[in-house]
A and B are shown apart, each in its own frame.
Chain A
Amino acid sequence: MYVAVKGGETAIAHSLELLADRRRGSRDLAELTLDQIDQQLALAVDRVMTEGSCYDRSLAALAIKQARGDLIEAIFLLRAYRTTLPRFGHSEPIDTSRMVAERRISSTFKDVPGGQVLGPTFDYTHRLLDFSLAANGERPAAPTAPVDATRDLPRVGDILEREGMLEPPPANVGGPTQDITRDPLTLPAERPVRLQNLARGDEGFLLALGYSTQRGYGNNHPFVGEIRFGAVPVSFVPEELGFPIEIAEIDVTECDMVNQFAGSHDVPPQFTRGYGLAFGHAERKAMAMALVDRALRAEELSEAVTSPAQDEEFVLAHSDNVEASGFVQHLKLPHYVDFQSELVIVRTLRAEVEARRQQTALDQAAE
C-alpha cells in the first residue's frame, strides 16, 4: 500500500521519542510503578477516575504515569480508552446509606446517628512542609476502630426530610435518563443530565463557580448537611438472572448540601438540596458540585437567574476540561490561511483609509 510520507512525519516521530524520553526522566532513578501511583498519589488517581468517568485505579494510574502527572491529560487518556469499551448494561443505582464510611461529618448537627467520623482529612493538618518525608516517609500503621459493615448509616438529609424540613429527593430515581457520553447535550437539560455533566466537570471550574455563589453571585445559603466517604457496593442485574448481584465495591465521596429556600405564598419554607458525588476521596469536588447543582436549580425553584453559576447553558457548555483544553490548545495549530485572508483585507482597508485621507488633504488644499 502506498502511504504518503512527508517531512512532518519525521518531525512528529522525533517529537514522540523525545516526549517518551522526558517522561522517563533520569535513568539513574527507579521508574515509578503503577502501584506506587495508586497508593501514594491516590487522590490524583481519584480525580482522574472521576473526571475520566471510569472507575479503574490501575488504568488511571497508568494514565497519570503516561501523562507525566498532567492530570487533565491523564483524564483525556482515560476517556479516550473508556469510549472504546463495549457496554454491557447499567448498574443499579448505588445506595450510599449502605456505605462503610471511613469519614462522615455533618456541619448542621452536633451529633447524628452513626456519629461524626473524622477519618483521614487534610482539614486539621498544619500546612507545614514535613521535611521528614523528604528523607523517609515510612510511618507505622494508624490505629483504626473496628468497622460495623452490617449496619446502615442513615443520611442526615433523610432525617430532616422525614420532618418535612427538607425537600424529598427527586421521584424519578432509577428511571431511564440520557447518557451524556452517548447522546448530545440538549438544552434545557434535566437534573440527571446536569449532575452527570458536573460529575465529569473540571474540579477547578466547579470550585470557582461554587465559590462565586458564596460571594453573592447567586447565593444559596449552603450548609453541609453531610459529607461521607467510603466504600459502597455496586449491583447489576444480568438479563439471564433477573435479580441484582453485587459485582464490585467502589469508594465514593458524597456531599448533601442543605440550602435555604424562602418558600412562597402557598409553599411553606423548606430546605432544598444540592448534591455532589465523586469517585474516591474528593471532598472539594463533591462540595463544589453540590453548590453548583443547587445554583442551577434556580429556575426550577422560581429564583431569578442572574449569575454565571445559575446559568445552565454557560455552566454545562464550559465545564468539561477535555473539551476546553483541546479547543484552547488548538490555537497552536497553523491558522496561516485564515491569517492570510485577514492580512489581505486589513491591507485593503488601510489603503482605502489612506486614499481617503490623501483625497481630503487634496480637497482642503484646493479650497
Chain B
Amino acid sequence: MPDTISSNDPSDGAYNYAYLDEQTKRMIRRAILKAVAVPGYQVPFGGREMPLPYGWGTGGIQVTAAIIGRDDTLKVIDQGADDTTNAVSIRRFFARVADVATTTRTEEATVIQTRHRVPETPLKDGQILVFQVPIPEPLRMLEPRETETRTLHALSEYGVMQVSLYESIARHGRIAKTYNYPVLVNGRYIMSPSPIPKFDNPKLDRNPALQLYGAGREKRIYAVPPHTPVKSLDFDDHPFEIERWTECCALCGSTQSFLDEMIVDDAGKRRFICSDTDYCQERQEEQRR
C-alpha cells in the first residue's frame, strides 16, 4: 500500500505529471532523439536534481519520467529482481507521480527500468528498456579526463581499450573483465553497457526493443535503437564468452539464466537461483501446470 507509507510525502498536486516540469522533459526528449540518431554516442543533457540520490538511478528515472505516460505499464528491476528495495522505491515513485500501472511481468511491460541486468525473457518491438548508468564513459577508468575521452571518441581512437583488454590476456590468459564489458555499437562508438554482467551483453545485440541509457550524475544519455549491431570487444584468438555455471537454478531448474549464489548455512553451503525473479516464477508456474 504505497500511498500510506509516510506522512512526509510531498502532496502530489504540488508537482507536475511525472515529477519533471514540461521544459525539462522537452530538453530530455530532444537529447533522447539525438541519442537514437547517433547510436552509442553519449549526449550531454541538463540533468536535474531528482528526489532520489545520485548513484541510485537518477539518470534512468529522468529518462523514464520523460517518456512515460498513463498508457504505459512499468516494470522496475534491480539485480534482475522486482522486489529489491531500490526497485520497489523507484516503482513506487512512478506509481505515485505518473499514475502508471506497474507489473513484474517482463512481457506485459511497455517500459522497463533496470539496474545491472537485462531480463532473460526476450524483449519485443515497442518495448523500451531504460538502463541506470553510473559511469557512462567506457574509457573513464583508462583515462579520467573528459576532455581526453571526448577526443578519443571523436577520432574513433580506441587503441587504449584494446591495450587494456590485451593486458588482461597477458596477465590472466583470458579477458578477465566480467561486468560493464565494453561494446562497439553499429561499428562506430565504444559504449558502456552499464554494469550488467557480460552474460547479458549478447542480449543487447540486434534487440528488437529500444535501449535507452541514462546517467544522472554524469548528465549523459545514450541509446541503442532496435536491431542495431552491438559487439562485445574481443580478439580473434580470444573470442568473447559469457559466464557459465555447473549448477542449475534450485527453484526452476534453469540452466540458461544468470544465477545468484546464496550462502545458506554457517558451513558456507551454496545454493544457486535465477537472478531474474520474473523469469524464474514464470517457469515455476509453468511446471506446476
Contacts and interface: CB of A to CB of B under 8 A. Distances in A.
Direct contact, A vs B (beta carbon within 8 Å): yes
Interface of A: 1-9, 11-13, 16-17, 20, 66, 76, 79-80, 82-84, 86, 181-188, 313, 317, 322-323, 325-330, 333-338, 340-345, 348-349, 352
A327 B55 contact: yes
Given A313-B146, A340-B259, A344-B178, A333 B56 contact: yes
B261 interface: yes
Contacts of A79: 49
A333 B196 CA distance: 14
Interface in B79-103: 79-80, 82-89, 91-92, 95, 99, 101-103
A182 B45 CA distance: 9
A326 B54 contact: yes
A183 B83 CA distance: 35
Nearest to B44: A184
Nearest to B180: A338
A12 B53 contact: no
Contact of A8 (B7, B27, B84): B84
B83 A326 contact: no
A337 B117 contact: yes
Contacts of A76: 49, 53
A80 B52 CA distance: 8
B237 interface: no
Given A8-B87, A317-B146, A352 B53 contact: no
Interface in B35-85: 44-51, 53-56, 58, 75, 78-80, 82-85
Nearest to B148: A313
Contact of A186 (B8, B44, B198): B44
Given A336-B79, A338-B179, A329 B5 contact: no
B88 A9 contact: yes
Nearest to A348: B174
A86 B54 contact: no
Contacts of A185: 219
B186 to A, nearest CB: 24
Contacts of A342: 178-179
B21 A341 contact: no
8 contacts: A16-B8, A84-B19, A181-B46, A184-B47, A328-B55, A330-B56, A341-B198, A349-B173
Contact of B101 (A1, A86, A322, A326): A1
A6 B82 contact: yes
Contacts of A8: 83-85, 87-88
A313 B146 CA distance: 8
A337 B85 contact: no
Nearest to B89: A12
Interface of B: 1-2, 4-8, 14-16, 19, 21, 27, 44-51, 53-56, 58, 75, 78-80, 82-89, 91-92, 95, 99, 101-104, 115-117, 134, 145-147, 172-174, 176, 178-180, 195-199, 217, 219-220, 243-245, 258-261, 275
Contacts of B51: 80
B195 to A, nearest CB: 5
A7 B83 contact: yes
A88 B103 CA distance: 39
A334 to B, nearest CB: 5
Nearest to A334: B79
B199 A341 contact: yes
B16 A84 contact: yes
B219 A66 contact: no
A23 to B, nearest CB: 9
A79 to B, nearest CB: 4
A266 B115 CA distance: 58
Given A1-B99, A338-B178, A341-B178, 9 more contacts: A2-B101, A12-B89, A13-B1, A17-B6, A80-B50, A313-B145, A337-B260, A342-B179, A349-B174
A235 B50 CA distance: 30
A334 B91 contact: no
B83 A345 contact: no
Contacts of A9: 1-2, 83, 88, 92
- Most chain A CB inside 10 Å of its own CB: which residue of B8, B47, B55, B89: B55
Given A80-B51, A338-B195, A327 B85 contact: no
Nearest to A23: B8
Contacts of B78: 333-334
B209 to A, nearest CB: 20
A325 B53 contact: yes
B261 A337 contact: no
Given A4-B91, A340-B261, A341-B179, A335 B116 contact: yes
A5 B178 contact: no
Q: Nearest 6 A-B pairs (CB), nearest first?
A: A330-B55, A326-B54, A6-B83, A326-B53, A341-B178, A184-B44
A349 B180 CA distance: 19
B85 A11 contact: yes
A342 B243 CA distance: 10
B179 A86 contact: no
A329 B55 contact: yes
B49 A330 contact: no
B54 A337 contact: no
Given A4-B91, A184-B47, A336-B260, A13 B83 contact: no
Q: Which of A313, A327, A329, A344 has the most CB of B within 10 A?
A: A344
A16 B53 contact: no
A20 B79 CA distance: 29
Contacts of B117: 337
B146 A322 contact: no
A224 to B, nearest CB: 33
Contacts of B5: 12-13, 16
A188 B147 CA distance: 8
B84 A334 contact: yes
Contact of A82 (B49, B180, B199): B49
